[in-house]
Amino acid sequence: MDIRSLQYFLAVAREESISRAAETLHMTQPPLSRAIKGLEDELGKQLFIRGSRKVTLTDDGLILRGRAEEIIELTEKTKNEIISSDYDINGDVYIGSGESEAVSILADAAHELQKKHPNIHYHINAGDGVEVAEKLDKGLIDFGLLVAEPTGFEKYNYIRLPVRDTWGVLMREDSELAGKEFITAEDLWDKPLIVSQQASKTGEMFRWLKKGEDELSIVLKYDLIYNASRFVKSGFGYLIGLDRLINTAGDSGLCFRPVTPEWKSDLYFVWKKYQVLSRASAAYLGEMQKLAGFNSTQN
């Protein structure tokens, strides 16, 4: 099973047609069909169900697609790291992060490094903490921005960032709770709530609310707070989320109130222990350490 076979397989899976895949690969259909058949023979598994109009993946094919995508991505990343110049640092830096104002620190580090090495390119992969950690473990990204206690970082080196995320409630300016300086859990017990997927999965949100999910009126769960804020603006509900991610100034029609007791999250810039960083990634890490005051932990 080589890289080219996996590329052929992914093309057929994407196009759902061997003939269309052959066109995108600039090859004829017979050798592509032989390559797919050879891959199935090698694995001893049927990867596609061949219908009259299209081909679809079997369960084994679905498994291979996920792994093949990771292998191709990692191969390209490795190739780019190896061919980077010994004189002018260039290449790619891969970062995974959820939504946070702390991304500004990541951007500041990239901007400083850009002045010295303008040929470094950056890739930001969005995802919650679980997704970011999985990509770190698989080597698909170099760094991750995570919200967690350092005791959970046995596999990582990390920098504790000099900022914390503040949780609160985003609401319309004319809403019932807009006149309050702080919002309590009790204030929200009878309100339609819009909540973060990640915070609800970890249970952190419900611990603060002092209620179980089935005891509350949760009308929407979100991954992207901007999209969820459109529901808030329509009067759909009260959004529990992070400060400084949505504009509440001017004529936005929205306001943000912090919660009490105070709820803040520490933020960590992490990378795998014993990882050999590319020159571009090592240079970026140096800039992050400068901005964070070198308060990193490495074992």
pLDDT given at position 188: 98
pLDDT given at position 151: 57
**β-strand pairing of 192-196 with 217-222:** parallel
pLDDT given at position 294: 56
pLDDT given at position 25: 86
Binning the chain into helix, strand and coil, the percentages to the nearest 5 are 40, 25, 35
C-alpha 281 chain-centroid distance: 18
pLDDT given at position 84: 58
- Confidence check: pLDDT of 297 > 60: no
pLDDT given at position 299: 43
Matching residue, tokens 């991505």: 73
Q: What is the arithmetic mean of pLDDT over 98-106?
A: 92
Q: Fill in the amino acid letter for 65.
A: R
Q: What is the arithmetic mean of pLDDT over 93-112?
A: 94
What pTM does this model have? 0.71
Q: Which of 18-22, 99-103, 232-236, 273-277 has the lowest mean pLDDT?
A: 273-277
Name 196's bridge partners: 222
CA–CA gap between residue 209 and residue 121 (Å, rounded): 42
Please write the tens of the pLDDT for every residue from 215-244.
999 999 998 999 999 999 999 999 999 999
Count CA within 13 A, CB hemisphere, residue 103: 15
Q: What is the arithmetic mean of pLDDT over 66-89?
A: 77
Collapse the DSSP code of 275 into the 3-class scheme (helix H, G, I; strand E, B; otherwise coil) and give the result.
coil
Please write the tens of the pLDDT for every residue from 170-218.
999 999 999 999 999 999 999 999 999 888 877 888 999 999 999 999 9
